[in-house]
Amino acid sequence: MCCLSCYKVKVGQKEYNDEVTKEGSPTKVIWYLPIILRLKCLFRNTNDAKNLRWHANDRKHDGILCHLADSLQLKKVDKKFPEFGKESRNLRLGMTIDGMNPFGNLSSNHSSWLVLLVIYKLPPALCMKRKYMMLSLMISSPKQPGNYINVYLNPLTEDLKLLWDEGVKVFDEFDNESFPLHIMLLCISMTSLHMETF
């Protein structure tokens, strides 16, 4: 996308060539785990498909704030986007981005940055379970992505735009029917990165 080499530039080699270098060690590595297929798999499981509409069918409406669905902010979002709110199977996600040093040595010259997605429509007991947290991206490099993280987020951003604008046809095992699944990204939590990159 930026017309620079994806590989480390050797000493004495020009950084800007007519042909992009295609050999050597990669500058940075990214793993992307597509979220659309994983969401389709969740709806193909009867129990998961039932749990993904828990907030609409099984939630107690007692006026106590026990879940995100009880919040005023979510009610405002549903009023602002009524078509999205009508379908109880549409999902709301939270995204968190955080870096870590996999070797536990603070002076190490390697870091890994994880991008996790959390489904907010599940019951409180399941919301933060490992099974329902989706690792969507892993960025591995000697340095943190910094202000250029939006370049690495491109594959995920394209999938999220598709799921918001057009939706994806998904088979719901619980209702035994297909429907267009739409997704809304409600919040982003980041550590050690600048929010202005978004």
Q: Which residues of 92-102 are buried (b: 16+ CB within 10 A; e: fewer)?
A: bbbbebebeee
What is the Cα gyration radius of the chain? 20
- Token pair of 63 as six digits: 């006026």
Span 78-93, mean pLDDT? 86
pLDDT tops 70 at residue 16: no
Q: pLDDT of 37-70, one tens digit each?
A: 999 999 999 998 888 887 777 667 676 766 676 6
pLDDT tops 60 at residue 19: no
Q: pLDDT of 165-192, one tens digit each?
A: 999 999 999 889 999 999 988 878 766 5
Q: pLDDT of 101-140, one tens digit each?
A: 666 655 556 677 888 898 888 887 887 888 888 888 888 7
Cα separations (Å) of 165 from 61, 79, 115, 159, 160?
30, 18, 22, 10, 9
